[in-house]
Structure 1
Amino acid sequence: MKIKTAAWISVLMALTTILTVSQVAAQQGSGASYPDRPIKLVVPYPPGGSTDPAARLLAADIGTRLGQPVVVDNRPGAAGAIGTEAVVRAAPDGYTLLLHTSVISTDPTLKKNASYDIKRDLVPVSLAVTGPYLMVVNPTLPVRNVGELIAYARAHPGKVNFGSAGQGSSGHLIGELFKKAAGIDMVHVPYKGGGPSIAGLVGNEVQLVFDTFGGSRSLVEAGKLRAIAVTSPERSGLMPEIPTVMESGLKDFSAVYWLGIFAPAKTPQAVVDKLYRVLKGSLDSPAVRSRMMDQGNVPQGLSPSEFARVLDGDIQRYRSIIESARITID
């Protein structure tokens, strides 16, 4: 009798273990228990850069909504590759996320020897915001609009230098796109970051930079730089007096940046969906929308599938620019 009782106890314990494991697995698969600890949001750029304010605003708000802290982890280096690789190698459990810019669209073309493949190793969660680039020039350059800039560059081929945050950066690619659309010759000068490129513009080392509003708006308002256009299809509410490139003469020219959230591949779909819903709720809230707009960012909150389509389109678009301009990075 004792043997039978002991056997039944063993069977019951085994069944209890199986049921408990099944319940945990079901919860994890449904995302019901997620998150139960802090989340890391990796930003592959230095602290204080133009991406940081949006990253920290989102991290604080979605952390409150999820009930767990979302900690911004800056991992700069190798043109964004160090931070991206850290996320690719992380466990696919939703606790390590990547906030990257549209520059990641250049990785398949510029970083052919990278240890990761963004299409294979990352899954889109949401395209959070978009924003225009501001065309800013040194005030000593005798131009006040895009038409005058094009005319000046044609009259002085190779004499207009445009700066960027580095070889293959968004500012570099947009500059090459503008050169091609306008049919002009400008010289690219790469700097080690957006801040140094703007310092070079203020010092007249370069005459033109395509920058974010966050990086240049205050300098324009202080009279240290001159804004001649925005690259988006429509004018920006932050500086509505500045015309678009399209209305300034280049009718087919349009370029915007975006900031998007990615997770490691194989992250459970339920977790991805939960993250998207929370991000969408954050971006739809009046408080976050207002602060994003103040930064020059336009909240979007695209779904994972919508974001994937944008990513695919930008990979193709930037590949064309990179190949035609023969851009390479070390």
Structure 2
Amino acid sequence: MEAVFGLARLARALVLVAAGTSAFAQQGTPAPVRKEAAPPAVAAWPTKPVKLVIGFPPGSVQDLSARALSEPLAKALGQPVIVENKAGASGTIAGAFVAKATDLHTFGVMNNSQLTIAKLLNPAIQYDPARDLTPVALIGTTPMVLVVGAAAPGKTPLDWLGWLRGQGDKASYGSPGNGTPGHLGMELIKSRSGLDTMHVPFQGNPQIITALLGGHLQAALLPPGLAMQQVAAGKLKAVAVTSERRSVLAPDLPTMREVGVMGADVELWTALAGPASLPPHVRDKLASTVIEVVKADETRQRLLTAGWQAAPSTGEGLRVRMKNDTKTFGGIIMMRNIRADL
């Protein structure tokens, strides 16, 4: 019997020793620390040529802005910058192409409509500006110039505007397509001025100028960089600019307000955007580089020559522009029941 009790006492002692050893280990020996994996290094960028996709033909205002930017941007990035034109469908072909890009080196130089109301105009397009594109940076802005053919009688902007109004729906105006700023801006002017000119869509502004010079159109809204060359040559007559204030791009022209058309303030802008999948480090590097390049005197002059006022800002500043234009142009679309080219 004593042997049995002895074995029991021995077992309890062993349990106590084991418990004490465990407690000592918990109190005196720190638990092993799990090492977190180091964050992956941000990949170098760019690693190959950067492509700027334009939704309009060579010679168009968007094309000119991209080409003014391409050389200094290439120097800053250390890689070639290639401008590629994918014209058609009011720029939405190019918009869809950029939205689907996955190579981290394809971007779009886009205008108001491509980055704002494209989906409102045509729900069938293959991208949604708000969902499928990343705003990178604003590049520049410009008003548009209301021009009429050289055959318009009179000597003043008020004379030419009065003549155009008197033509009613016998007169026609051109734009680079349904939903482009040239179209929506003109419809806004019509709603504020009593004009009743008919809309004729074209592939781009160079084709519109050809039609104006040939007498096939009576009016159009054109960027100053294209309009003022023809005005200076006496081939077109300029009525007014669409900005709230007079522009350095056409300092002698009155505003639409000055010729009695109130509430028709519209600016065209050009901006850089990428696909929604664009990594933040690529977006931020490209944005900061573009802003730095556009602020340089040489680039500002290049843009001015191409018909743009340099207006560099971050993607957040671009988002504000997009929001405001969506409201303004969205109202015109609803009021005029405008639909995209199909």
TM-score band, normalised by the shorter chain?
0.7 to 0.9
- Cα deviation, residue 177, structure 1: 0.5
Matched residue type, 1:49? S
Matches within 5 A, 1:185-224: 185-224=196-235
Gaps of 5+ in 2: 1-35
Q: Tell me what 1:8 maps to.
A: none
Cα deviations across residues 52-74 of structure 1 (Å, max 9, x unaligned)? 22101212111111111111121
* Partners of 1:138 and 1:207 within 8 A in 2: yes
SS of aligned partner of 1:321: helix
Cα deviations across residues 38-84 of structure 1 (Å, max 9, x unaligned)? 21111122223222221012121111111111111212222222211
Q: Tell me what 2:109 maps to.
A: 99
* Partners of 2:192 and 2:262 within 8 A in 1: no
* Partners of 2:119 and 2:127 within 8 A in 1: no
Q: Distance in 1 between matches of 2:195 and 2:250?
A: 27
SS of aligned partner of 2:291: helix
Q: Tell me what 1:137 maps to.
A: 148
- Cα deviation, residue 143, structure 1: 4.4
**1:85 is aligned to 2:96:** yes
- Cα deviation, residue 36, structure 1: 2.0
Matches within 5 A, 1:250-261: 250-261=261-272
Q: Tell me what 1:110 maps to.
A: 121
Cα deviations across residues 222-280 of structure 1 (Å, max 9, x unaligned)? 11111121111222223321111122222432111001100111312122111111011
- Cα deviation, residue 98, structure 1: 0.9
Matched residue type, 1:96? T
Q: Tell me what 1:284 maps to.
A: 295
Q: Distance in 2 between matches of 1:171 and 1:65?
A: 33
Residues 1:118 and 1:229: Cα distance change in structure 2 (over 3 Å) = same
Q: Tell me what 2:41 maps to.
A: 26
Matched residue type, 2:159? E
RMSD: 2.0
Q: Distance in 2 between matches of 1:251 and 1:211?
A: 19
Partner residue of 2:314 out of 300, 303, 309: 303
* Partners of 2:57 and 2:204 within 8 A in 1: no
SS of aligned partner of 1:253: coil
* Partners of 1:38 and 1:68 within 8 A in 2: yes
Partner residue of 1:165 out of 176, 180, 192: 176
Q: Which runs of 4+ in 1 moved over 3 A?
A: 143-156
Q: Distance in 1 between matches of 2:250 and 2:91?
A: 30
Matches within 5 A, 1:170-185: 170-185=181-196
Matched residue type, 2:214? G
Partner residue of 1:40 out of 51, 67, 71: 51
Report the more deviating stretch, 254-263 or 166-175: 166-175
- Cα deviation, residue 149, structure 1: 4.3
Gaps of 5+ in 1: 1-17
Size of the aligned set, in residue pairs, is 305
Give 1 or 2 for the bigger CA radius of gyration: 2
Q: Distance in 1 between matches of 2:111 and 2:156?
A: 28
SS of aligned partner of 2:170: coil
SS of aligned partner of 1:72: strand
Partner residue of 1:121 out of 132, 136, 144: 132
**1:69 is aligned to 2:69:** no
Partner residue of 1:243 out of 243, 254, 263: 254
Q: Distance in 1 between matches of 2:135 and 2:154?
A: 41
* Partners of 2:88 and 2:203 within 8 A in 1: no
SS of aligned partner of 1:158: helix
Tell me the TM-score normalized by structure 2.
0.83
Q: Distance in 2 between matches of 1:164 and 1:88?
A: 25
Matched residue type, 1:258? W
- Cα deviation, residue 144, structure 1: 4.4
- Cα deviation, residue 120, structure 1: 0.8
Q: Distance in 1 between matches of 2:231 and 2:196?
A: 25
* Partners of 1:146 and 1:245 within 8 A in 2: no
Report the more deviating stretch, 283-292 or 197-206: 197-206
